Amino acid sequence: MSWYQSRRKVQIEDPKPADDGEDEETNDKISLKIKSLDKSVSRNVVNQEPFMGVKVRRKASFVRDYRGDYLDVASIPFLEKILEKQGDKKIFFADKVLKFTSTGKMKRRILLVTDFAVYIVDPDMGTLKRRVSLAAVEKVSLSELSDNFCAIIIPTEYDILLASTRKTEIVNMLMEATKTTSNFELEVYLSNSFEYNAAADVVKEILFEEVEGGVKTKFLRK
């Protein structure tokens, strides 16, 4: 859990049974150098405020310099293979995150945002767990507090709930990637309680409450 240490304590109340069994995808051996996000795009995104001044942001998020690719994807062969197989050329964001399964269990994953899609990759097995086209993403749901949670809402499938200390940058890069490729402005939904589809037939509500020393988070199955 060292990836996600922050100055604010986040409490999570939810049972964590066994894994829900994500699908894996194998990839052929292909060699390619993937182009990372241009620095000019990164600088422009830094100046954006997608949350309309409502989000209670950490002080560090106001001065953080966005890098986009925190993994140096071009130096990781299995990530290169995955992106080459799909035909993606530009990387807007790449970093390690925690992904929540439908049962509430947290899994270490790599999140990639490219010019065409969102990828969830298993860093230990080097396998693609999920690919979602940017066109399928309707909105991103966040609380109004300084927690690490971010839900990517996909109406035609089940949603993606993530935890990352770079949540603000993830949202910015999703907005930038969507606008760049489709001229569509991604909606950012802010509320201290919101629902998401943890699986095709599982709907959960996540509640956020600011408490002394941090943010308390509770999951309810609908």
- The pLDDT tens digits of the residues spanning 180-202 come to 888 788 999 999 999 999 999 99
Confidence category of residue 31, pLDDT binned at 50, 70, 90? very low
Confidence category of residue 66, pLDDT binned at 50, 70, 90? confident
Confidence category of residue 65, pLDDT binned at 50, 70, 90? low
Residue 56 has a pLDDT of 52
User: Is residue 160 pLDDT above 90, yes or no?
Assistant: yes
All domains of the chain in start order, with CATH: 2-221 (2.30.29.30)
- Per DSSP, the residues of the chain read -GGG--SSEEEEE----S------B-------PPEEPPHHHHHHHHT--TTTTTS---HHHHHPPP-SBSS-GGG-HHHHHHHHHHT--EEEEEEEEEEE-TTS-EEEEEEEEESSEEEEEETTTTEEEEEEEGGG--EEEE-SSS--EEEEE-TTS--EEEE-TTHHHHHHHHHHHHHHHH----EEEE-SEEEEEEETTEEEEEEEEEETTEEEEEEEE-
Residue 180 has a pLDDT of 87
Indicate the pTM of the whole model: 0.76
Mean pLDDT calculated for residue range 78-100: 95
More confident residue, 43 or 144: 144
User: Is residue 14 pLDDT above 70, yes or no?
Assistant: no
Residue 197 has a pLDDT of 97
Residue 64 has a pLDDT of 53
